[in-house]
Amino acid sequence: MDEELSIFQPEFKYESVSVCKCLIESLSNEQIVIPARKLQILSSVTRTENYLKERRIPELIRFLLTKVITEAPNKPMDYLEKLLDDCMLFRAGHGPAPVLYERRHLEAVVKSFDPGQRGWLSAGQIRRVYITLDLTPPELFDEKTFCETILNDLEKTQEMELFTLLSAGANKSPIVRNVVPYQPHHEALADRLVLFVIDGLRAESFVNYSTMTYLREIANSHGRWGISHTRMPTESRPGHVAVIAGFYEDPSAIVKGWKENPVDFDSVFNQTAYTWCWGTYDILEIFTKGTVDSHIHINKMDPYDQTFSADKNTTLLDNWVFEKVRIFFQNARSDKVLYKKLHQKKIMFFLHLLGTDTSGHTHKPKSLNFLTTVKFVDENIKEVEKLIREFYHNDERTTFLMTSDHGMTDWGSHGAGLDHETQTPYVIWGAGVEQVEQGQLDLELDSETNGMSLKHRVDINQADLAPLMSTILSIPVPVNSVGQLPSHLLNMSLANRAKAIYSNSRQLASQYNTQRLSIESNVIQKIYKPYKKFNHKKYQEVIEFTEKMLTNETQDNEDYEKLILLSTEVMHLSLSGLNYYHNYYQKPLLVLVTLSFIGWIGCLLKSLTEQRINSQVDASSIQNNSFSIIRNNFTINILNAVFLCLLIVSISLLYVQNLPHQYYIYVLMPIYLWWNTLSSFKIWILLLKKIYRERKICTFLSEILFYILGSIAMGISFTYRWMLSIPILSMGLWPYLSSIKVYSTKLVLFSWTSSCILLSIFAFMPTVGKDTFIELVLLAGSIWSFVVAIYIWKFLIPLYRANHIRRKDIVLTVLQLVLLILSLQNILVQSKRFENGTAVSQTHQALAWIIAATSVVMPLIFSRKLICRLMAINTSILNFYLLLSVSHEGLFMVALIFNMTCWICIEFKLMHLKNVKMTECTFGNIETSSNLITIERSISNQDFRRAFYFTVYIILAFFGTGNIASLNSFEIRWVTCFITSFKPFIITGLILLKTLSPFLIVACSFRAIQLLTKAPTGYLVIIVLIYSNIMGILLLYNVKNTGSWLDIGMSISQFVIVQVITLFIVLIHQLAKLLTDINIYVIVNKLFGKSIKKYV
């Protein structure tokens, strides 16, 4: 019984139970003692009742039973199952509402109240109809309402109440569900509110330009203005959600491009009596998806329609909205139903104006077109305000609010966290707005702006606009809002101000309490860590105390000030507690994922150790060790028992806490991986004995430390490129710290160290982007042309004279040199034309395409001699790469090729092959070349070093000159030699090929090293996977779920890149194999050789 009762209590504390005084015979000072057992029972009963009440479970059961009794199905269980499915589909917005009363039932009830068939009912009759049907009646009724209207309202009310009932149990997102809206007690400051959202308008365009004359005049006179600080990501959907719903968009929306609702949420629109919206469909549908009634009316357009294309006037987008608003109010004068709705209280108008965003993207924010669009919006806002005031006969019950969803950079982009992107303006005026005293109007201007009044300025957070609008209309603050009311903007009495702030605090506290209860309902008490600053006891005390203060009729100003202070503190505690419970399971999950990574690394090391031991241990040694293997069975059995107990305990903990199914994967994965790693107990013992026997413990530990620190440096280099210089410089010192210097010449060692220093310099240079230095591109091409000329003169010609190569290789190399010179001339001509504004030569573009296509094929025509084929591949790739270069990236490629060549020479020297020259080695069938051994050997320490170097080169190939972080960094000059018109697929393909080029050079060079050293390919990939997992652990803790779209996307993409690096290496290795092994002559001979011989 105690265990059952403990389910509903978050901690072992008993609540006090009030006892009626009538039960006590006489008043005394004696304390009534209630047994602990009874206290526990009463407390558990209270918690059970609260649990059922909050989730509305009794009401749901009553609804289901009523439906079963009404329908009287033959198979009630099947009917209940189908009914529940229909309810879930309806809640998700994909099916009709399985309401209790059908249309015919409603018609029968309404007709019973209209026996004379007048066709209308009075207000009292309508209220009795709602009570008869057990539906919540509206607050206001007309004296006479037509029966058809009543029937439609009943259907909507029934569907809405069913949706609310079904949603009480929903919990499907990080947004806190099941939060009950708190009805405010303060008086409404206005009957209606008009919201203008000027998409993409940054604060700088409003405060430093005099284009928006009317709104600036309002802001400096009878209105208030300020900077609304947005939170990244600065995109349209998150910005509108922050303004209208009051919370900052969850990063889960990134997978849908911020267009669709990944989760459902409450908004200011939901709480109004009616809302009318005009704008683009992708914004308006954010706030109407899943609604079951029709109190939100939208009039939407498709901004991607050719009618509003960017080559036309961008004011067309906003003009469409303003014209629709004018037509709407004109029609309202003759439409009695609409006219009546418009004269209700608690209504909103929302105008989404996209023209500025489109103009900013197309023409940039400082352009004349953008300023013209902004001026057009300003003039039409003035006209709309005049239209609305005249419609309501200047009743002074309308509030106007202008703001923006996000800002924009000077180059027309948004999404990140620059000031121009996160700072948006707002202006509020009309009913309920606090006026600055007339005597203060002529005081100092804001020094940060151009002619804006400092006294009128109040800066706020973007999410604060939602409780601000709710307070003006005296409607509940959206339940998911995290905004705090800027009450100093509103003209309110102290009592109303205190009540408004208290309503905001209760909404945040309710959100926090719901999130806390959802955690406490399933958590195990022994391991539960509550948020101590605002635990259950403190929460109850604060709510009870503030409620008493609010209901106290003898309150004075001091009490209201205390209520304001206490409510403000409650808001801060609630927001802090929300963050605590949202991330409650984050640290345990990170620990489990980290253990999975370490366990996976252990499995990979076990595989490598088995390969090494199995290749060295013969049959006799296996027989001698048979007894020790049997002896280790006992240890393995103990190990299995330990992991089995751990498995049972883990599954039990998850099941008891009712955690999501994916948590089982997080828990079971490290258990399995660690069991797999430690199950081969014999392998680890043999490895440790071997290390101890060879007395290489210090060397072994120092190598492990070097590889771990190097992997960490590579992981950090994803964020800070200069960290790449650390492993590269360490590689440069490697020959002097080992025995390699004995076998290599001083020239090779000096060249290796120098090239490593050169490569490390590029890690400190700026990322290749919009700045162009064509001179550096020409310099890189000239250097390589000189290298190729020396290569022909000093290497190819002597080999040809010694009959080691054919004349064909010399002719093809000369042809490559000619193509490289033509490319340099092409780059020079096209860059001059572009700088002078002259049309780019179509002939030179065609030549560039011919050179690019030829560069792909030419290496396959060369012989498969290792040196000749590598030189051909490097020259062809570099030639294509230079045609797409604009800065120092060409020099980086030259330095990379030089460094990789030195590495090949050093690795060849380490083979100690006295009778073999590198010029004799060939790609392809190495078995037939040069006395090289062909038996696959075991893994050695040198293979770990080679795999580490290869991983460094792969990371360097991607980040050596920076990479394209976003389309904002794209520069058209990158592809000028090939194309100048905007063709996204061709441009993207060229940029991807440019990005792939350094990888191909690294992969082809590493394939040469692999063939020379006879390293087992599969096991080298496993070693690379180990390094990538070490980097993965580091980048796992760098993944962000807050910040800009760029920050979030980059942190996730970096982690994904590290995880797929092994797969990428396998793919790039296959491409390198094709480039190095394939010979066109052999292919032609295989395809046509037989037919040619037959013909001859």
**Quick count: other Cβ atoms within 10 Å of Cβ 1088?**
11
Average pLDDT over residues 721-748: 82
Average pLDDT over residues 718-746: 82
Give the per-residue pLDDT at 385: 95
Give the per-residue pLDDT at 471: 95
3-state secondary structure of 196: strand
If one compares 106 and 34, the residue with the highest pLDDT of the two is 106
CB proximity list for 753: less than 8 A, separation 6 or greater:
732, 733, 735
Give the per-residue pLDDT at 484: 92
Residue 229: which H helix or E strand, with range?
strand 224-229
User: What's the first-to-final CA gap in the chain, in angstroms?
Assistant: 99
Token pair in block for residue 693: 């026997």
Beta carbons of 470 and 268 less than 8 angstroms apart? yes
If one compares 233 and 16, the residue with the highest pLDDT of the two is 233
How distant, in Å, are the alpha carbons of 253, 405, 711, 1046 from that of 235? 11, 7, 35, 11
Beta carbons of 515 and 175 less than 8 angstroms apart? no
Residue 819: band (very low, low, confident or very high) from pLDDT cuts 50, 70, 90? very high
Whole-angstrom Cα distance, residue 934 to residue 579? 61
Average pLDDT over residues 565-579: 90
Give the per-residue pLDDT at 783: 93
Q: pLDDT per residue over 106-133, tens digit each? A: 888 888 888 888 888 887 888 888 888 8
Whole-angstrom Cα distance, residue 430 to residue 490? 10
If one compares 163 and 677, the residue with the highest pLDDT of the two is 677
Q: Which of 53, 425, 71 is nearest to 229 (CA)?
A: 425
Share of the chain above pLDDT 70, in %: 81
Q: pLDDT per residue over 512-524, tens digit each? A: 888 888 888 778 8
| From 42-46, 602-606, 869-873, the region with the lowest mean pLDDT | 42-46
Give the per-residue pLDDT at 396: 92
Beta carbons of 237 and 253 less than 8 angstroms apart? yes
616 has pLDDT over 70: no
Token pair in block for residue 177: 């569900």
Share of the chain above pLDDT 90, in %: 23
**Quick count: other Cβ atoms within 10 Å of Cβ 897?**
24
Whole-angstrom Cα distance, residue 181 to residue 507? 7
Exposure string over 220-259, b if 16+ CB within 10 A, otherwise e: beebbbbbbbbbbbbbbbbbbbbbbbbbbbbbebbeeebe
Residue 202: band (very low, low, confident or very high) from pLDDT cuts 50, 70, 90? very high
DSSP 443: S
23 has pLDDT over 70: no
**Quick count: other Cβ atoms within 10 Å of Cβ 117?**
7
**Quick count: other Cβ atoms within 10 Å of Cβ 755?**
23
Cα 737 vs. chain centroid, distance in angstroms? Answer: 45
Residue 554: band (very low, low, confident or very high) from pLDDT cuts 50, 70, 90? low
Average pLDDT over residues 222-235: 86
- Dihedral of the alpha carbons of 326, 328, 332, 335, in degrees to the nearest 10: 140
| From 15-19, 140-144, 696-700, 934-938, the region with the lowest mean pLDDT | 15-19
879 has pLDDT over 60: yes
Residue 226: band (very low, low, confident or very high) from pLDDT cuts 50, 70, 90? very high
Token pair in block for residue 760: 């490390």
| From 26-40, 472-486, 630-644, 970-984, the region with the lowest mean pLDDT | 26-40
Exposure string over 91-103, b if 16+ CB within 10 A, otherwise e: beeeeebbbbbee
Give the per-residue pLDDT at 291: 55
How distant, in Å, are the alpha carbons of 166, 174, 180, 569, 578 from that of 263? 16, 8, 18, 29, 18
Residue 441: band (very low, low, confident or very high) from pLDDT cuts 50, 70, 90? very low
DSSP one-letter string for 864-925? -BHHHHHHHHHHHHHHHHHHT--STHHHHHHHHHHHHHHHHHHHHHHT--TT--GGG-BSS-
Give the per-residue pLDDT at 786: 93
Average pLDDT over residues 609-623: 59
Average pLDDT over residues 68-90: 81
Beta carbons of 463 and 242 less than 8 angstroms apart? yes
Beta carbons of 341 and 329 less than 8 angstroms apart? no
Q: pLDDT per residue over 1054-1093, tens digit each? A: 777 787 787 788 888 888 888 888 877 777 776 665 544 4
274-280/296-301 β-pairing: parallel
| From 435-439, 672-676, 901-905, the region with the lowest mean pLDDT | 435-439
Give the per-residue pLDDT at 898: 93
If one compares 309 and 555, the residue with the highest pLDDT of the two is 555
Whole-angstrom Cα distance, residue 216 to residue 209? 10
How distant, in Å, are the alpha carbons of 606, 616, 621, 693 from that of 627? 22, 19, 11, 21
692 has pLDDT over 80: no
423-430/224-229 β-pairing: antiparallel
DSSP one-letter string for 764-831? TSPPSSS---HHHHHHHHHHHHHHHHHHIIIIIHHHHHTTSS-HHHHHHHHHHHHHHHHHHHHHHHHH
Whole-angstrom Cα distance, residue 912 to residue 903? 15
Average pLDDT over residues 951-957: 90
3-state secondary structure of 1025: helix
The amino acid that residue 424 corresponds to is: T
Token pair 């790693």: residue? 677
Give the per-residue pLDDT at 627: 40
9 has pLDDT over 90: no
What percentage of the chain's residues is helix, strand, coil (to nearest 5)? 65, 5, 30
Give the per-residue pLDDT at 620: 41
| From 368-372, 630-634, 907-911, 992-996, the region with the lowest mean pLDDT | 630-634
Residue 826: band (very low, low, confident or very high) from pLDDT cuts 50, 70, 90? confident
Token pair in block for residue 126: 């309508």
Whole-angstrom Cα distance, residue 726 to residue 717? 10
Q: Which of 420, 296, 346 is nearest to 190 (CA)?
A: 346
Provide the residue count of the chain.
Answer: 1096
DSSP 965: -
Give the per-residue pLDDT at 911: 78
3-state secondary structure 399-435: EEEEECCCCCCCCCCCCCCCHHHHEEEEEEEECCECC
* Cα-Cα-Cα-Cα dihedral sign, residues 848, 853, 854, 855: positive
How distant, in Å, are the alpha carbons of 4, 268, 433, 477, 743 from that of 492? 51, 21, 9, 17, 88
Whole-angstrom Cα distance, residue 165 to residue 159? 10
Give the per-residue pLDDT at 1093: 45
Q: pLDDT per residue over 370-429, tens digit each? A: 899 999 999 999 999 999 999 999 999 999 999 999 998 887 777 777 788 889 999 999
DSSP 183: P
DSSP 763: T
Give the per-residue pLDDT at 140: 55
Token pair in block for residue 263: 């989760």
Cross-strand bridge partners of residue 832: none
Token pair in block for residue 411: 């180059």
Give the per-residue pLDDT at 95: 61
Average pLDDT over residues 330-349: 92
Whole-angstrom Cα distance, residue 634 to residue 43? 51
Give the per-residue pLDDT at 18: 46
Q: Which of 671, 691, 695 is nearest to 683 (CA)?
A: 691
Average pLDDT over residues 903-909: 87
DSSP one-letter string for 831-859? HHHHHHTPPPPHHHHHHHHHHHHHHHHGG
Beta carbons of 263 and 252 less than 8 angstroms apart? yes
Whole-angstrom Cα distance, residue 450 to residue 204? 10
Q: pLDDT per residue over 971-1005, tens digit each? A: 566 777 887 665 667 877 888 888 889 999 999 99
Give the per-residue pLDDT at 967: 40
255 has pLDDT over 60: no
Token pair in block for residue 932: 């090289």
Beta carbons of 744 and 909 less than 8 angstroms apart? yes
Beta carbons of 301 and 280 less than 8 angstroms apart? yes
Give the per-residue pLDDT at 522: 76
Residue 25: band (very low, low, confident or very high) from pLDDT cuts 50, 70, 90? very low
Residue 54: band (very low, low, confident or very high) from pLDDT cuts 50, 70, 90? low
Exposure string over 60-69, b if 16+ CB within 10 A, otherwise e: beebeeebee
CB proximity list for 701: less than 8 A, separation 6 or greater:
none
* Cα-Cα-Cα-Cα dihedral sign, residues 545, 551, 554, 560: positive
Q: What is the mean pLDDT of the chain?
A: 80
Average pLDDT over residues 54-62: 79
Token pair in block for residue 1080: 């066109």
3-state secondary structure of 154: helix
| pTM listed for this prediction | 0.64
